[in-house]
Structure 1
Amino acid sequence: MAGSGRAESYPRTCSDKDAKFDDNAHKIEDITTAHDHADAITELSGIEATAASKAAWLISLTVSLGGLLFGYDTGYISSVLVTINTSLGHVLSSSEQELVTSLTSGGALVGAVGAGLSADRFGRRMPIWSACIVFVIGTVLQTAAYSVPQFAVGRFVVGLGVGSAAMVVPLYISELAPAKYRGRMIAFNNVSVTFGQFIASAIGAGFAQVGNPDSSQAWRATVGIGAAPAIALAGLLFLCPESPRQLVAHGKVEEASKVLTRIYPTSTEEQRKAKIASIEMSIQEATQTMVDDSIWKSLRRVFTTPATGRAVLTACLTMAISQLGGFNTLMYYSATLFSLVGFDNATAVAITVSGTNFLFSIVNLVLVDKFGRRIILIITVLGMAICMLIAAVSFHYIPINPSNLELLTDSVGWPGIVLLITIICYVAFYSSGVATMGWIGTELIPIEVRAVGTMLNTVTYWSTNIIIASTFLSMMKGMTPSGAFGFYCGVCFFGWLFFVFCYPECKGMPLEAIREVFARGFGVKFSKKWQRENKHFAKLNGQQSFAH
């Protein structure tokens, strides 16, 4: 057929050769005729190109409070580590600092798995409600702690809520948001995360000045404030609808239609019907899977279906690079790090890290749907690698005793200033790029394994986060600070190579169409072709509308 010939003529990158193992599935499910491909673009871009309602933006903002919780509860530990002193019975050792820092990540890993197991069966909102309750319990445990074990348990419990929210919120937004605004709406969640981290740093720095530094209990207020947004989110979530794709998957088509009307108020009835039909078609076979299949069958599908495996691998590798590249060493230990290199008010200096992170996450929010994911990743991750290289060189000129990580001078010299500037630049590259892209990666995962795939993506985040949180101080001692930051530089450079050769551009693609990309290997060239054709059809539609 002509259409089949067209589909096979799409050029492949060197990484696309793996697609030959998926030829049968490719022929059955993914090859479309040129006419069908054009119709799909025209049909979906019709409703997807319409303006999003205020309700859609408000819903995204509301559930992004989960990101605020995530950011706050991972951000305050930096200041608490340098102000807690003997509040838990003694001064915390390096291993105890790594323990209480990484336990939140450990709890988040468990919470992400739990949310992944329940998100398809009970919907997207239930795990978010559960996360809010767990947040409050964990916050109370930490605030009332007078021993390391109790504080550690509180950190783990909070982590359960962090992991659940971090897994479900981007998934929920990606399924609810119009394709045209999907990247921006998911980026709201990341902006909320960075805002939470900034607020935590600012509050921590403020309370660090309260009372006697050697006996102050003000850190408890820093921790306790984290319960407020959890309570607010639990109440506001009643105003948010369930995901249309979840409603259709569970046979609630009429309810899904009402939600689509709420999200696309300027669309026509025909466009809404076409959207529902498209959703029904994409999950026709997946519906039974999501309702009845076990988690093991879904996982097996990820690892035995090449196209699905490539999609999940791309999302998970992006997430892993975002963590192993070293950012959270700065978020968790920034105050400790700046104190190490000689800054007097380390908690105040650490605000520059969280503040830069917040500001440049807004830059990503503005640019992600305009320029796309791929080019932003390629530019920013290379910038991260260069910054980590400069940081490694700067540490070489800072006199630090590697055995106890103590500064061997009384003042901050030029290497310390260069290090501070380099770290700020690194954070700017990170937050404007891969920080958000790791979560936007949920858009790459097919509907039939989206909850499981998102769970794996979130598990990747927290497992690599645990590695960073629990090894940073040990790496600084064992490899020297220069060696540790050189390692992070290497991870960033590997990530840059991966994004250049394997990351497809899915800007503006309906979720139902993205599966077509990974049926052709990693689909880098195919996605470029799709973008050109979509732009062409949009231009033609605009000319036709103008003519009428």
Structure 2
Amino acid sequence: MKTISNVYAVCGFAAIGGGLFGMDIATMSGVLGTESYRRYFNHPVSFTQGSITASMPIGSIFGALSSSFVSDRFSRKIAIQVSCLLWILGSAIQSGANGIPALCVGRFISGVGVGAASAIVPVYQAEIAPKEIRGRIITLQQWAITWGILIQYFIQYGCSFVDGGAKNPTQSTAAFRIPWGLQSIPAFILCIGLMWFPYSPRWLASQDRWEEAITVLADLHAGGNLKHPKVLAQYREIEEALRFEKECRAAGWAALADRKMAKRLVIGTSIQMFSELSGMNVMMYYIVYIMESANIGSPLLTASIQYIINVAITLPAILYIDRWGRRPTLLLGSLSMATLLFISGALQAGYGSPIPRSHSPDAALSWHIAGNPPVSKAIVACSYLFVATFATTWGPVSWTYPAEIFPNRIRAKATSITTAANWIFNAALAFAVPPLLYSINWKMYMIFGTFNMVAFIQVFLMVPETKNFTLEEMDVVFEGRPWAKERPRESNLDDLEQQIACGALDVDIRKEGVVTMLGDVGSMGKGGRDGKASSLSGSEDQKPIMVETAIEMTSRPRSSYESDARLREREF
């Protein structure tokens, strides 16, 4: 079966898995304001509503943690397909739910699916994308999340007009059953469509399926040309990294206990944690409540503007994240979001007033802005600016960074843990925010603003820049102190590719053989710089590794470099 080989098409299609995450986020926000939902489920508020909302992220915790078992054994692609099937099953149960228990079960099963997808998709994208655009490619995951939020919200908003509108006391249950059923369609498309997409070349290499691995690399990065310098350079790095990992013999969960890996795990986990504690998903889950507290006339419509902003403003991050870098983006984002949250909290505290309980015993809010339109508009403006800031900073980077910092042997396992951290705090916030909004109202803004300041400090002290480095070079990236000014480091892959292109290394590919690399003196060697001949299978006195596809590189007379370089330019 012929597979799709365009990197953007492959990773963009896989990002539909992120769209499921977005639909999960918006799956409740659009129905909270409908009378049919409130009446059918007996007006759930506070802890009851929090439990319903949290059932999906709780399932996602289990999905994220278990994803690596399927991903490492059966491939990233098959693991994504399994997650789609779980999402479809959960959606069917939700749309037919006859009470809160059935609704929670359906949301839990869907959560297992979306949790697994959210952990695997960034890994799949990172292992396929070249280093120059890896940030842009993984950021497609965040953009798909924003599209999922927007599409699901507008489906729910449209369905809210069923049978006389959201405020009609006899509104049909179709107002919430239709959107919960329709959310299964993207998962079905993704599950079927992945049949025409390639396996991860790094996963194939880890399974000793070298011929398939180099074929996928060639298809993705060189139009199928197995002799292209970019293909051979990437192949060489992957092979050396896997050989080193096998020599270390630490590929299981125990490898995460290594001091250096544990540090990266803390960094990746904390980035996902602070992505949730930034307060963004509070805006996404309960934006209707927030708009009601600001005394906005049409909270459903006003909230929809926020989702449009989320989609539109994520686009600049996709285009420029590999130019801006991960570290400065995180620093600027956390500082800006903290400022906006502090302003919102101060406005609520200074101009708000308590809502008498006698006015509405079942109300979800206890605090609002009454009779002060300028302040209400200012709070809404801060909400919009907050969403725009998150969409260009923490939103995309929180998925990009954890997926690229771990070595191949533990990437799926480590990313499953970092993603589980996202879902743990997602579930905690989904459960805790309704009572927080009711009990401490405006003080909640101050709490999340403080979390963003803590995130700023943590990023400044611990998070190094990873742009323009290959996945196999992350050990070098994490040397040194991120906060100290050091000489800029460069990727070795470019040097290797140039040497192959100009003929300093001759390349022959054959079906069976020994993977070796013998470089010209002074050009290659251990680490590519000590002037000694190096071998992809180890030192010269070691037994070489036999593989299905072999690349033999031997030194040649320098007089023939220029002519062959011109020939390669015509071929490529």
Q: How much has 1:204 moved relative to structure 2? A: 1.6
Residues 147-296 of structure 1 mapped to structure 2, 5 A cutoff = 147-212=99-164, 213-214=168-169, 215-217=171-173, 218-265=175-222, 268-286=227-245
Moved more, 251-260 or 280-289: 280-289
Counterpart CA distance in 1 for 2:474 and 2:485 is 11
Q: How much has 1:526 moved relative to structure 2? A: 8.0
Q: 1:533 to 1:288 in 2, by over 3 A?
A: closer
- Which of 37, 48, 52 pairs up with 1:96? 48
* Aligned-partner residue type, residue 79 of structure 1: G
Counterpart CA distance in 2 for 1:220 and 1:412 is 37
1:383 partnered with 2:349? no
The 3-state SS of whatever aligns with 2:162 is coil
* Aligned-partner residue type, residue 9 of structure 2: L
Conservation of the 8 A alpha-carbon contact between 2:233 and 2:497: no
Q: Which residue of 1 aligns with 2:386?
A: 426
Q: How much has 1:532 moved relative to structure 2? A: 9.6
1:400 partnered with 2:354? yes
Counterpart CA distance in 2 for 1:179 and 1:171 is 14
Q: Which residue of 2 aligns with 1:9?
A: none
Q: How much has 1:476 moved relative to structure 2? A: 2.4
Q: How much has 1:524 moved relative to structure 2? A: 5.2
- Which of 253, 278, 288 pairs up with 1:299? 253
Conservation of the 8 A alpha-carbon contact between 2:45 and 2:434: no
1:489 partnered with 2:449? yes
Moved more, 179-188 or 66-75: 66-75
Q: How much has 1:477 moved relative to structure 2? A: 3.1
Deviations 1:139-168 (A, max 9, x none): 111111121111111111111111011000
Q: 1:302 to 1:92 in 2, by over 3 A?
A: same
Q: Which residue of 2 aligns with 1:80?
A: 31
Counterpart CA distance in 2 for 1:540 and 1:481 is 62
Counterpart CA distance in 2 for 1:301 and 1:532 is 25
Q: Which residue of 2 aligns with 1:467?
A: 428
Counterpart CA distance in 2 for 1:273 and 1:408 is 63
* Aligned-partner residue type, residue 369 of structure 1: D
Conservation of the 8 A alpha-carbon contact between 1:142 and 1:154: yes
Conservation of the 8 A alpha-carbon contact between 1:388 and 1:486: yes
* Aligned-partner residue type, residue 277 of structure 1: R
Counterpart CA distance in 2 for 1:440 and 1:460 is 15
Conservation of the 8 A alpha-carbon contact between 1:398 and 1:416: no
1:117 partnered with 2:69? yes
Conservation of the 8 A alpha-carbon contact between 2:222 and 2:231: no
* Aligned-partner residue type, residue 58 of structure 1: A
Counterpart CA distance in 1 for 2:183 and 2:259 is 42
Q: Which residue of 2 aligns with 1:503?
A: 463
* Aligned-partner residue type, residue 184 of structure 1: R
* Aligned-partner residue type, residue 281 of structure 1: E
* Aligned-partner residue type, residue 419 of structure 2: T
- Which of 85, 88, 92 pairs up with 1:136? 88
Counterpart CA distance in 1 for 2:21 and 2:124 is 16
Q: Which residue of 2 aligns with 1:69?
A: 20
Q: How much has 1:499 moved relative to structure 2? A: 1.9
Conservation of the 8 A alpha-carbon contact between 1:504 and 1:527: no
Q: How much has 1:270 moved relative to structure 2? A: 4.2
Where relative contact order (Cα < 8 A, 6+ residues apart) is larger, the structure is 1
Q: How much has 1:92 moved relative to structure 2? A: 1.2
Moved more, 482-491 or 201-210: 201-210
Q: 1:539 to 1:415 in 2, by over 3 A?
A: farther
Q: Which residue of 1 aligns with 2:395?
A: 435
- Which of 10, 30, 43 pairs up with 1:59? 10
Q: How much has 1:286 moved relative to structure 2? A: 3.1
Q: 1:126 to 1:526 in 2, by over 3 A?
A: farther
Q: 1:70 to 1:515 in 2, by over 3 A?
A: same
Q: 1:364 to 1:263 in 2, by over 3 A?
A: same
Unpaired segments ≥5 residues, structure 1:
1-52
Q: Kindly, what percent of the aligned residue pairs are identical? A: 23
Residues 336-351 of structure 1 mapped to structure 2, 5 A cutoff = 336-351=289-304
Backbone CA RMSD of aligned residues: 2.8
Conservation of the 8 A alpha-carbon contact between 2:344 and 2:382: yes
Deviations 1:170-220 (A, max 9, x none): 010000111111110101111011011011122222222221432232121
Q: Which residue of 1 aligns with 2:570?
A: none
Conservation of the 8 A alpha-carbon contact between 1:289 and 1:448: no
Counterpart CA distance in 2 for 1:524 and 1:210 is 55
* TM-score, normalised relative to structure 2: 0.80
* Aligned-partner residue type, residue 299 of structure 1: W
* Aligned-partner residue type, residue 235 of structure 2: I
The 3-state SS of whatever aligns with 1:77 is coil
Conservation of the 8 A alpha-carbon contact between 1:380 and 1:429: yes
Deviations 1:50-75 (A, max 9, x none): xxx96111101111111111111221
Q: How much has 1:79 moved relative to structure 2? A: 1.1
Between Structure 1 and Structure 2, how many residues are aligned?
A: 487
Deviations 1:301-333 (A, max 9, x none): 212x22212222211111111101111111000
The 3-state SS of whatever aligns with 1:78 is coil
Task: Report the structure, 1 or 2, having the larger helix content.
Answer: 1
Counterpart CA distance in 1 for 2:500 and 2:208 is 34
Moved more, 326-335 or 406-415: 406-415
Counterpart CA distance in 1 for 2:158 and 2:177 is 13
Q: How much has 1:481 moved relative to structure 2? A: 2.1
1:126 partnered with 2:87? no
Conservation of the 8 A alpha-carbon contact between 1:310 and 1:521: no
Q: 1:235 to 1:446 in 2, by over 3 A?
A: same
Q: How much has 1:261 moved relative to structure 2? A: 0.8
Moved more, 208-217 or 150-159: 208-217
The 3-state SS of whatever aligns with 2:222 is coil
Deviations 1:521-543 (A, max 9, x none): 55555876215999999999999
Q: Which residue of 1 aligns with 2:414?
A: 453
Q: 1:535 to 1:415 in 2, by over 3 A?
A: farther
* Aligned-partner residue type, residue 483 of structure 1: K
Q: 1:283 to 1:542 in 2, by over 3 A?
A: closer
Q: How much has 1:434 moved relative to structure 2? A: 0.7
Q: 1:377 to 1:220 in 2, by over 3 A?
A: same
Moved more, 495-504 or 436-445: 495-504
Counterpart CA distance in 2 for 1:424 and 1:540 is 50
* TM-score, normalised relative to structure 1: 0.83
Q: 1:54 to 1:288 in 2, by over 3 A?
A: same
* Aligned-partner residue type, residue 253 of structure 1: W
Q: Which residue of 1 aligns with 2:518?
A: none
